[in-house]
Amino acid sequence: MRRITLIVRGSTNPFLPIEAEVITPEILCKTVRVNVYVGNQKMQLSEVFDIRVDGEAAGPSATEIVLIGDASRVKRVGEYMTDGRIIVDGDIGMHCGDFMTGGTIEIMGNAGDWLGREMLGGKIICHGNVGNYCGSDYRGGRKGMRGGEILVKGNAGDYCGESLFGGVIRVMGNADLHAGTNMKGGNLIIEGDAVMPCGDMFGGECTVFGHVDDFMPTFAEIGTVVENNQELTVFTGDLAHRNGKGTLRVGSYTRI
């Protein structure tokens, strides 16, 4: 097992983003002599992070990366990750886990926007809150997260699970505006409340155990179901689409 510890240095400009798609087990298990961009300036990883390597050389599956310090401006960590493990000791910036197909990312703090964007597999655990577009597609895309699992133990921002195509997103807190918009598949679970979820839904399943505000009128009630000892009202839609066959279950709701 090889553990690579990266400690964010305080000497870099705190107002500039750090583009760090090289922080993956696949790359760092081979070498830590790689470059990142701080703003538009190319710098060596060792100029931005204090690096400590423990353990024998190993492949991605036996590599663990630990990121320590204020990483809220460090972007694209774990992008295209296929195996291994990344642990973020605090907060992490935008686009963490983009396109990942395997392995595990665990974030002890909060995560920025587009966590797990267009993710294909693997698992992301965020112990804090996540920003907007968690598990969604990017601008102009048609498919968001397609596989894997995202667990958010806090709250989610706007458009969580937008264009969700597969996999599971579970939010243990509340979700802001338009969770599950344009869903086509997969499973979105919100244990708290949500605002106007699942508009433009084609397919998939969304469950909101709390209260839904401004619930769209283009969903048809089809019955009730008991899940986790709670009665949920079941709807199908979005019937604004001829082929809108998604399933939405809610604990309580207010319709517009």
Domain coordinates of the chain in residue numbers? 1-85, 110-256
33 CB-side CA count, 13 A: 0
Contact 135, 150 (CB under 8 A): yes
- Give every residue of the chain whose pLDDT is below 70, as ranges: none
CB-based burial label for 167 (10 Å; 0-12, 13-18, 19+): buried
pLDDT at 215: 84
Q: What are phi and psi of 119, to 5 degrees?
A: -65, 145
Structure tokens, 3: 């553990």
pLDDT at 12: 73
d(CA 184, CA 152): 21
72 CB-side CA count, 13 A: 12
d(CA 61, CA 83): 5
Full-prediction pTM beyond 0.85? Answer: yes
pLDDT at 15: 84
Is the backbone peptide bond immediately before 113 cis, with ω within 30 degrees of 0? no
